[in-house]
């Protein structure tokens, strides 16, 4: 974990020192978990907050580094009338690198971008189990943490405001292979693995055109 953070800081510092144009950004996203179709599962929503920086390496190549925090609830089975109720929540802290590609005229007022992404994530899972019996109810809380190396892919539209390489808004559709279920499977080793296949959703990112280096 420490090596990943150090590498992230080195990349960010290098971008700031060497980029011809640099744009920091903040972002907000909404995601749901992707499962195999044969599983009897409920949709599990999640929200994300992000920050990072993009720099222009070439006219079409715009590498980006990002730190992301995602959180939400995890539902793995349709609820039934049983004396045991389980409330599952999770959070992830991720660091990523994306070699973004501008497709149609980076200098235009709007353009399309495609971004494959490498992601290192730390997943924290928490489960609160409430059991109702003859003598009342009992609450048991458990937690687990796992780390993962993941891949992602996204496509979006970037709208530049005012002048070229000024403030901009990106609207992205993205998928990444973060498997939140792995942490919960560790909490329930005797049960059938959930095996969610990642998360997908929409992100909004606002870029600040604050630096121009010639």
Q: What per-residue string of b and e applies to 46-68 under the rule 16 or more CB within 10 Å gives b? A: bebebebbbbbbeeeebbbbbeb
Give the pTM.
0.79
CATH code for residues 2-212: 2.40.160.20
pLDDT of 184 reads: 81
pLDDT for 133 equals 64
pLDDT of residue 213: 42
Low-confidence ranges of the chain (pLDDT < 70): 1-20, 35-43, 76-84, 105-107, 133-136, 162-165, 194, 210-214
């Amino acid at each position: 974990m420490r090596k990943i953070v150090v590498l992230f800081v080195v990349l960010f510092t290098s971008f700031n020192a060497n980029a011809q144009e640099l744009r920091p950004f903040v972002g907000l996203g909404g995601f749901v978990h992707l499962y195999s179709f044969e599983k009897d599962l409920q949709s599990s929503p999640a929200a994300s907050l992000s920050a990072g920086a993009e720099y222009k390496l070439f006219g079409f190549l715009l590498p980006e580094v990002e730190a992301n925090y995602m959180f939400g609830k995890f539902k793995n089975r349709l609820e039934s009338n049983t004396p045991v109720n389980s409330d599952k929540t999770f959070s992830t802290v991720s660091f990523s690198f994306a070699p973004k590609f501008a497709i149609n005229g980076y200098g235009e007022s709007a353009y399309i971008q495609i971004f494959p992404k490498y992601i290192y994530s730390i997943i924290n899972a928490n489960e609160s189990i409430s059991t109702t019996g003859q003598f009342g109810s009992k609450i048991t809380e458990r937690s687990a943490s796992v780390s993962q190396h993941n891949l992602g892919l996204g496509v979006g539209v970037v709208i530049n405001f005012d002048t070229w390489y000024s403030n901009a808004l990106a609207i992205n559709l993205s998928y990444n292979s973060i498997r939140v279920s792995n942490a919960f499977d560790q909490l329930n080793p005797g049960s059938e693995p959930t095996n969610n296949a990642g998360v997908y959703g929409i992100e909004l990112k606002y870029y600040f055109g604050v630096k121009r280096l010639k």
